[in-house]
Amino acid sequence: MSLHIKNGRLVDPASGKDGPGDLYIADGKIVERLKSPQRTIDAKGLVVSPGFIDLSARLREPGYEYKATLESEMDAAVAGGVTSLACPPDTDPPLDEPGLVDMLRRRALSLERARVYPIGALTMKLQGKALTEMAELAEAGCVAFSQANVPLADTQVLWRALQYAATFGFPVWLRAEDAWLAQGGVAHDGEVATRLGLPGIPGFAETVALSTLLELVRATGARVHVCRLSTAGAVELMRRAKAERLPVSCDVGIHHVHLCDRDLGYFDANCRLEPPLRSQRDRDALSRALAEGTIDCLCSDHTPVDEDGKHVPFAEAEPGATGLELLLPLALKWGQARELPLAATLARITSEPARILGVAAARLAPGAPADLALFDPAAPLRVTPEALKSQGKNTPFAGYELAGRVRATIVGGAVVYEA
Amino acid sequence: MLRDPQLNANGELQHLLSIEGLPREVLVQILDTAESFAGVTEREVKKVPLLRGKSVFNLFFEPSTRTRTTFEIAAKRLSADVINLNIAVSSQSKGESLLDTVANLSAMQADIFVVRHASSGAPFLIARHVKPHEHVINAGDGRHAHPTQGLLDLFTIRHYKKDFTRLTVAVIGDVLHSRVARSLIHGLTTLGAPEVRVIAPQTLLPSGVEALGVRVFHDMRMGLKDCDVVVMLRLQNERMGGALLPSAQEYFKSYGLTADKLHLARPDAIVMHPGPMNRGVEIDSTVADGPHSVILPQVTFGIAVRMAVMSIVAGN
């Protein structure tokens, strides 16, 4: 299939280019010119951007098919313009053996939607005791290793895991949360949790763990990506670590640059997230750090939860929120608030995560894979849970008036979504 | 901003979920109504027909004797039919969800649900899912709120001290885990008490507690100075011997209320306790049974206050 996309506004975050132009696609790649395209798409009024790359989207397979299936979540991904996603290993069983990873990749491939990059478990069953066969898992397709949201309390195991991963040059993606300090907590330890009588997770649960992690990076040289920063203190530590040229990067979730603990309102279980929504000051620091580049990229942290998991008292609710279809409008909202050019905003969900994932996509240049999102940045979008393709309808943004609608998504030159 | 889920569109009390957010007028209305019921409880025939034909379901997902009993007495004095459900040992253990339990009881024509639950916010969840004519009264949720206890504390203080606007009140003990403390503090600040103190070691205070409008003291003697009202909180045994407190003995030494320490408060100070008391842990028997203690009157007032709350929500 060869394609000609005409009249679009081409935005290439990697080069910063933004202007009208045409794009030609053949054999799954962007090409310089094309004589007789099989299809022409008129992108008048639309932005043509590299497809979005999401560093954390839970597809819930294997094991949690009652919460979501690969089919539903891959539909959600392309409806949101997401052409590549990394999925964390906290499935059931966890992604700790090559057979599982292989099966997941094959299933995902057969659906012909977005590209799926599995993150392997760092320790067997995510129990934080024994290392997984990382080399085997990498061969099966794992691009990095992680504990998802399961804490690794034993620093001896953490140290060894980082050493082992560093030996082979495997990246390790970890959340920074001290298991003991966070134990039992369900909300940010502060005024709001105090008022609501919810057990708190102090902000320093993140900085204590991050300090430890950074010290182990210094010792081992492991490449570490820190997932879902939530505090101003962690931003400061990352700033210093990067100035020191440690091999580290980090991301933040869409909820944490827009919301804070006050949004819990009267115990809104949709705001039960991991890490918890923190103070206004933390949220502002995260938003600013994402603009300044201390935080490398923005991810949806897509976590579909079924209704039963949320129709319970706040502390008993299952953490997580749906996000794949909200990544673009929430990124645009953030970029607008920070007064960034569109290319800079989109970089946080295209070229920057591509760099961390180590993939060639996310460029509008001849030779690059034709993974594209065509969207109308001004089209209003009222967040309506029932209208989401994802099986997870749980989002604190329900009812929000946002802007930005994906009109078409192209993966490897094939149009996989059109609206 | 979200509308307070306990008020209806006219700003009247639809449910009683928390004292926080309730306007001063609503608090005063409840206290005044309770005053009128206090007489009823002293009559020979202790019944009024206000809730005749109505059903009150006592839904206790967490064990309680005192609160459940006083709600039951209050409902009966209002001539309601009372059904006690000890859910802690029935449907929950069969895996039925909280909302399913409530939906089933609602199908049995309930008018008022009195809910006690170990999770903060559970009554809010229930209130979001009941029918428009049904009312939810929070009888204690996790660490969050115990509004009828807070109201009976306010009633007691008003009974003995009349005016809130000159009072210094100290709340002493395990504020971290206490729904009673949170409710009372909100009530006192709403009614204009100029100085509310909390006295406890750091391990028993929630972070940012000052934001509730209180002054923090770690030294009990300093905190008690010139207090008009001293409210002792229950300290549960399971808090001992862990990372929060080393021992009951050491706690009593630093934070137990003794006659000697009580001398630092005003001579006419009253001593309150939400019960059940741990004598010798947070309070000395000579104080608990002494002339300053109003602990038993609190229990009596609790019935009138709960009658007031039930009759007001049922009338709105």
pLDDT at B89: 60
pLDDT at A361: 78
| Distant-in-sequence, close-in-space partners of B9: CB < 8 Å, separation ≥ 6 | none
pLDDT for B236 beyond 90: no
Pairing label, strands B81-86, A47-50: unpaired
B143 contacts A195? CB cut-off 8 A? no
Query: Token pair for residue A118?
Result: 């599995």
Q: How far is A257 from chain B (nearest CA, A)?
A: 20
Q: Taking a C-beta distance cutoff of 8 angstroms, is the pair A230, A257 a contact?
A: no
| Distant-in-sequence, close-in-space partners of A382: CB < 8 Å, separation ≥ 6 | A399, A400, A401, A402
Alpha carbons within 13 A on the beta-carbon side of A124: 5
B145 contacts A195? CB cut-off 8 A? no
Q: How confident is the model at residue B40 (pLDDT cuts 50, 70, 90)?
A: confident
**Rounded to 5 degrees, what are φ and ψ at A250?**
-160, 160
pLDDT at B95: 66
| Averaged pLDDT, B286-310 | 97
B208 contacts A197? CB cut-off 8 A? no
| Distant-in-sequence, close-in-space partners of B184: CB < 8 Å, separation ≥ 6 | B19, B149, B150, B153, B154, B171, B231
Question: Average pLDDT, whole number, for chain A?
Answer: 97
| Averaged pLDDT, B57-76 | 93
Residue A26, classed as helix, strand or coil, is strand
pLDDT for A192 beyond 90: yes
pLDDT at B47: 86
Q: Residue A146's beta-bridge partner residues?
A: A121, A173
| Averaged pLDDT, A377-392 | 97
| Averaged pLDDT, A351-372 | 94
| Averaged pLDDT, A65-78 | 95
Give percent of chain B above pLDDT 90.
Answer: 81
Taking Cα atoms as reference points, which of B23, B31, B21, B24 lies closest to residue B312?
A: B31
pLDDT at B17: 98
For residue B254, what are the CA distances in angstroms to A166, B220, B240, B269?
Answer: 53, 7, 14, 20
| Averaged pLDDT, A257-262 | 98
| Distant-in-sequence, close-in-space partners of B39: CB < 8 Å, separation ≥ 6 | none
What count of CB pairs under 8 Å joins A to B?
A: 74
User: Residue A282: its chain B contacts at CB < 8 A?
Assistant: none
Q: How confident is the model at residue B5 (pLDDT cuts 50, 70, 90)?
A: very high
pLDDT for A242 beyond 90: yes
Q: Taking a C-beta distance cutoff of 8 angstroms, is the pair B197, B212 a contact?
A: no
pLDDT tens digit sequence for A385-395: 999 999 999 99
DSSP H/E element including A21:
strand A17-26
User: Residue A264: its chain B contacts at CB < 8 A?
Assistant: none
pLDDT at B240: 76
A194 contacts B207? CB cut-off 8 A? yes
Verify cis geometry, omega within 30 degrees of 0, for the bond prior to A380: no
Burial code (b: 16+ CB inside 10 Å, e: under 16) for A127-161 equals ebeebbebeebbebbbbbbbbbbbbbeeeebbbbb
pLDDT at B91: 54
Q: How far is B221 from chain A (nearest CA, A)?
A: 25
pLDDT for A142 beyond 60: yes
pLDDT tens digit sequence for B180-195: 999 999 999 999 999 9
pLDDT for B44 beyond 80: no
Q: Which residues in A327-400 belong to E strands, given as ranges? A: 372-382
Q: Taking a C-beta distance cutoff of 8 angstroms, is the pair A11, A48 a contact?
A: yes
Verify cis geometry, omega within 30 degrees of 0, for the bond prior to A377: no
**A301 part of the active site:** yes
pLDDT at A215: 98
Query: Token pair for residue A204?
Result: 């320093």
pLDDT for B96 beyond 80: no
Nearest by CB to residue A267, choosing from B125, B206, B209, is B125
